[in-house]
A and B are shown apart, each in its own frame.
Chain A
Amino acid sequence: MSSLMRIMVNVALVIAVSLASSSTHVNASPVDTYEFKDEVTKIRFQALSKELRCPKCQNQNLADSNSPIAADLRRELYELLQQGKADSEIVDFMVNRYGEFVLYRPKVSELTYVLWFGPAILVLLGLVIVILIVRRKPAKKEELALTSEQQDKLKQLLKDK
């Protein structure tokens, strides 16, 4: 067997093995088993655990995170839902303990004005600048045209040639 052939066989084997292992790959997102009393509660649980941020692993929400604190907070969330708490009450419960930080969509307040309105203001500013540039009047034709003196000079120059 040529060395090229051998390399190709090896590559094929590696691909086959990695394909086989990826098909048995275990899903990394956490699985808790919670029983909900109705479909609405289940949907609310899913929505809230996506809306609330894990305090430890800051770029994941509660639904995504494997960290123990996220599991605790999911359990707490479940229990609060079972107690019949409203979404706003649950959000307040979390904010009272972990601060505004736990909300992926923080409440509008003096602290978050820049966050909420900054992008809109920047877009408006950009629009204003674009409009100003576009509407700036092009130079008038008369101004572009040569004056009679210049015309004479031009003729003179052309004659010399």
Chain B
Amino acid sequence: MMNKLIRFIPLILVLALGVVLYRGLSLNPQDMPSALVGKPMPSFSLPTLNNAERIVSAQDLTGDIVLLNVWATWCPTCKYEHPYLVDIAKKAELKLYGLNYKDERNAAQEWLTHYEDPYVFSIFDEVGTLGLDLGVYGAPETFVIDHHGIIRKRFAGAIDTRVWRTEFEPLIAQIIAERKQGE
């Protein structure tokens, strides 16, 4: 009896390995947890895209729920994402800010006049210092910051309707609920 069971051990091990490897197929290796989730927004002091004289800091990202979208004109996915951002910016419960990441000022300004500017303002991060502090490694990326100034989410990749519904809406509902409870 025992010996018969032992014979099946290799089969069971192979099946278990198969399950593990099969699961691995559907995992996205780019999907990394951000080191900043749960931490406050890093401090910065940078000009805005539209006005080189105007220096903004983390305190200027006002709003109960802040969305900070990292974008650049060199990023084709940002173009795909842009119309969705225009829609999202119309939502009353949040404020959308841009972080123009390692871009050229003229090209970026043209982009916004050409495609419509969904952002309250865009931070102009020419060398990527704020990007580095945020752990940004590409564009687009979007951060959700709550009413305490704590980063709640970092999403790497393009936002569209499906992503918004699955990735962002539950979190935003949760933050609104927390705020109502006075947390």
Contact = CB atoms under 8 A, between A and B. Distances in A.
Contact of B137 (A76, A98, A100): A98
> What interface size band does chain A fall in?
10 to 19
Given A99-B34, A101-B32, A72 B128 contact: yes
B116 to A, nearest CB: 28
B63 to A, nearest CB: 24
A99 B32 contact: yes
A55 B132 contact: no
Interface in B13-65: 29-30, 32-36
A95 B32 CA distance: 13
Interface string A2-37: 000000000000000000000000000000000000
> What interface size band does chain B fall in?
10 to 19
Contact of A98 (B29, B35, B102, B138): B35
Contacts of B137: 55-56, 69, 98
Nearest to A72: B128
B13 to A, nearest CB: 12
A69 B134 CA distance: 13
Nearest to B102: A68
Contacts of A76: 132
Interface in A98-121: 98-101
A83 interface: no
Nearest to A98: B135
Contacts of A96: 35
B133 interface: yes
Interface of A: 55-56, 58, 68-69, 72-73, 76, 95-101
16 contacts: A55-B32, A55-B137, A58-B29, A68-B102, A69-B137, A69-B138, A72-B128, A95-B35, A96-B35, A97-B35, A97-B135, A98-B35, A98-B137, A99-B32, A99-B33, A100-B35
Given A55-B32, A99-B32, 12 more contacts: A55-B137, A56-B138, A73-B132, A76-B132, A95-B35, A97-B132, A97-B135, A98-B137, A99-B33, A99-B135, A100-B35, A101-B32
